[in-house]
Amino acid sequence: MDFQNLANALTLTNLALALFGVVAGTIIGSIPGLSATMAVAVLVPITFSMEPASALILLGAIYTGAIYGGAYSAILLNTPGTPSAIATTFDGYPMAKRGDGDLAVAIACYASVAGGLIGAAALLLLAPPLSTVALAFGPVEYLWLSVFGLSLIASLSTGNLLKGLAGGALGMLLSCVGVAEISADIRLTFGSSTMIGGIEVVGALIGLYCIPVLIDMVSTPERHLKVEEGGRAVRFREGAAIAWKSRVNLLRSSIIGTVVGILPGAGGSVAGLVAYSEAKRTARPGQKFGEGEPDGIMATEAANNATVGGGFIPTLVLGIPGTPPDAVILGALLVQGVRTGPTLFDGGGSIVYTFIFGLFIATVLMLPTGLLIGRYAYKTIVTIPKTILVPAVGFMTIIGTFAIRNSISDIVIMIGLGTVGWVLSRFGFAASPIVLGLILGPIAEQGFVQAWIIGEATGNLPGMFFGRPISLAIIAFTLLSLVYPAIQSRRAKRSLATKAEAND
């Protein structure tokens, strides 16, 4: 690593590629259904004639831009543009409904840049040692990590824990539809060949989050979002002040995102949910997560953007893609003859470090471009008539769902799940626990089955599940995340009782 690599990243060509990648990724990521993986995959062919370092910079910029772009529709339409933005809907959309959508967009941009920079810094300084963390994770660690994620249901179910658990169970049941990943058993298809492929996660997300919003928009005469007169521009300074005030949350969430990004297969959606859970667990008195709390947006966006740098650590050092977009980028590198692995930092160090500096540059460029695009996205969404907005969003949801697997059946399932989600919301069931079960169910199942097989083969089932240090640490965090809210609630009740006695 030297200043020559930084100079290579700062060439006019690489700067232009970084800017183009961020803009293109942000726009693609903001469209429901078009994930970061699709954004990278669509633009991979144009990199085949480029220098490896320039190709990496472009693909990394597209990736980081797409992760941030998913926040736009999550905040303004209650529909995650990418799966990584699931938890952004929890507080982003309530903020937009009360007229603070412009502030939410600014906060998301600042948090995304902070998370991206910390993830890139980890990639620059800690890649070789941190890559060993990925190797230490086996099936049982993934099982307990998914259980830790499922414990978030307790904090998401602020109104009724029983309904939250029922929603999570429904999500896990839906994740079992189709062919089992380990045994290849066909489950819950009811004789339909259409269901053999299972329920596509992104299509389900679009249905559960977007369709209920569209139904509500059609059924109510009021505006989709509140419009504050004279407050149409994105509130840059106010967002920056809030982000600086919550810098501890930003740092913690970015570290969580980096670590989760290192784990192959976990991705930004898991990182965002875990960071949101931790932000809620450590909330200050008076903070109301799920009702438009800025710290909720910052935790999610910082974590999911930090997974970009974190995911590149096992990709470049071990040749194991940390996230799905990393797998596409790894394939593009192999086409160009670049062999990833432990020797890459020695033999191809110039390429790697030029790319890492380029990732820093792309993340910094995301600040002005993200705020600018966010300003016009917000103005468009709040001013466009419902008669245009509803058909346009409906069309995007159909195209986004179809584009994933080119399947009409996915569209039918998406609309069906959305309708069911709308009906359930009338009875107090939130979509978030269902989505959580749908995403984490396959990870938990695969980890459990593989750990059971290994444990039986070694004759040590209890030791397999409860005898590994990392597993025990995750179990401890899970128990803490479940017990801590109850302790906080009991303390709050005691405090209120004490004040009531003092007043008497």
Q: What is the pLDDT of residues 375-391, one digit of tens each?
A: 777 677 667 777 777 88
Three-state SS string over 223-248 comes to CCCCCCCCCCCCCHHHHHHHHHHCHH
pLDDT band of 223, cuts 50, 70, 90: low
Backbone φ, ψ for residue 86 (5° rounding): -55, -55
Q: Looking at per-residue confidence, does 493 or 111 come out higher?
A: 111
User: Which 8-state DSSP code applies to residue 189?
Assistant: -
- Percent share of the chain, pLDDT over 70: 86
Sequence letter at residue 466: F
**Region for 184 from its dihedrals, namely left if φ exceeds 0, alpha if ψ lies in -120 to 50, beta otherwise:** left
**Mean pLDDT, to the nearest integer, of 107-125?**
90
The region of weakest confidence among 7-21, 231-245, 268-282 is 231-245
What helix, strand, coil percent values describe the chain, rounded to 5? 80, 0, 20
pLDDT-derived band of residue 264, with 50, 70 and 90 as boundaries? low
What span, in angstroms and rounded, lies between the C-alpha atoms of 326 and 220?
Answer: 42
Percent of the chain with pLDDT over 90: 10
Round to whole Å and give the CA distance between 25 and 490.
46
User: Across residues 183-206, what is the average pLDDT?
Assistant: 81
Please report the pLDDT score of residue 489 as a whole number. 64
**Given this model, what pLDDT does residue 225 score?**
59
Q: How confident is the model at residue 202 (pLDDT cuts 50, 70, 90)?
A: confident
Distance, CA of 478 to CA of 157 (rounded, Å): 16
Q: Give the integer Cα–Cα distance in Å for 412 and 11.
A: 48
Q: Which of 67-71, 168-172, 314-318 is predicted least confidently? A: 314-318
- Is the pLDDT at 229 greater than 60, yes or no? no
Average confidence (pLDDT) over 493-504: 68
Task: Identify whether the C-beta of residue 309 lies closer than 8 Å to the C-beta of residue 121.
Answer: yes
At 84 the pLDDT is: 80
Domain residue spans of the chain: 3-224+236-493
HSE value, Cβ hemisphere, 13 Å, CA-based, for 141: 15
Q: Is pLDDT above 60 for 437?
A: yes
Most distant CA atoms of the chain, gap in Å? 79
Collapsed DSSP state (helix, strand, coil) of residue 255: helix
Per-residue confidence (pLDDT) for residue 231, from 0 to 100: 47
Average pLDDT over residues 429-437: 80
Place of tokens 């302790």: 487
- pLDDT value at residue 251: 92
DSSP string, 57-100: HHHHHHHHHHHHHHHHHHHHHS--SSGGGTTHHHHHHHHHHTT-
Average pLDDT of the residues of the chain: 80
Out of 37-51, 289-303, 486-500, least confident range: 486-500
Average pLDDT over residues 300-307: 91
Q: Between β-strands 178-179 and 186-187, what pairing exists: parallel, antiparallel or unpaired? A: antiparallel
82: which 2 tokens?
């990418």
DSSP reduced 3-state for 178 = strand
What token pair was written down for 386? 């419902």
pLDDT at 5: 78
pLDDT at residue 224 greater than cutoff 60 = no
The whole-angstrom separation of Cα 226 and Cα 228 is 7
Distance CA 176, CA 199 (A): 9
